Amino acid sequence: MDPYAPVPPPPPSPPPAARPWWRRPGFVVAGLLVVFGSGLLLFGDPSGKPEGGAGDAKKGGRPEASASPTVATGTPSTSPPTPVEPPQLVGKVLKEAQEVADGAGYDVVTHDASDRDDGQWDADGWKVCFQVAGGQRGGGRPVLDLGVVRVDSPCPTADGEKVSWPSMPGVAGTDLFKAEEMLEAVGVRKVRPESVYTDVTLPADPSTWRVCFQEPAPGKEIENPQYATAYLKLAPPDAACPAEPYARLRPEPTS
């Protein structure tokens, strides 16, 4: 045998056996995509972003429940108090009456209890004379209707009638000290004494001087007596009252 003879090429390798269809790369990739997509449908976006996944509330799905409890940050609403027996408000200042009624579960409406029909703009300046049940607003609380007058005014005899103001007492013939007591009893706080004689000066303390004339006249109705002023003409204790005020105790000498 010739050692230098060319060596024949080896026979070709047999072709590799074909892989089963389920092991092919394309099928594996497709399978992985299907599995991943199914996971998204079932569990949502694994990244945790609110816009991902089929469970997003913006896309019509049910929003995912939070594992942590929700803490309310606002003030919890309180239901109105259940109405009890109507409170007695007659005699109270309107502002206080409104607060008491509200605490008992009632709303309040007001009207002038006199014949004047004034508006009640300042709740501190009015007091309650009458109260009646005012019905109930639709779906709301029961209502109390209060008839009120000014704080310094007496209540009328009946709701809607004219207020009966006090009358000026007759103080003529009494000393100034007694006259002031009588005036104070009807609410008159301002008294201005004057000497009935033009030639006699009123002393610093005229409490013992006698009243000769008065204004307002006796029997005159005094509306809002706390603002009224009584003008009294006084004579000294040892002198008689003249026929008219502004007289002279000692007539001028004639030549």
Q: Which domains does the chain have, with CATH numbers?
A: 94-150 (no CATH), 165-250 (3.30.10.20)
Of 71, 70, 108, whose CA–CA distance to 87 is shortest?
108
Phi, psi of 113, rounded to the nearest 5 degrees? -80, -10
Buried residues in 24-43 as b, exposed as e (16+ CB within 10 A) = eeeeeeeeeeeeeeeeeeee
Per-residue pLDDT of the chain (255 residues; tens, 9 = 90+): 455 555 555 555 555 555 554 455 554 444 545 445 555 444 455 454 444 444 444 444 444 444 444 444 444 445 555 667 899 999 999 999 999 999 999 999 999 999 998 998 899 999 999 999 888 766 689 999 999 999 989 999 999 999 999 999 999 999 999 999 999 999 999 999 999 999 999 999 999 999 999 999 999 999 999 999 999 999 999 999 999 999 999 877 776
Give pLDDT, residue 140.
82
Tokens coding 7 = 């060596």
d(CA 184, CA 190): 9
Phi and psi angles of residue 12, each rounded to the nearest 5 degrees, phi first: -60, 145
CA distances from 235 to 176, 216, 241, 244, 247 (A): 10, 18, 6, 12, 11
**Do the beta carbons of residue 103 and residue 80 sit within 8 Å?**
no
CA distance 164 to 156: 6
pLDDT at site 63: 45
d(CA 128, CA 170): 32
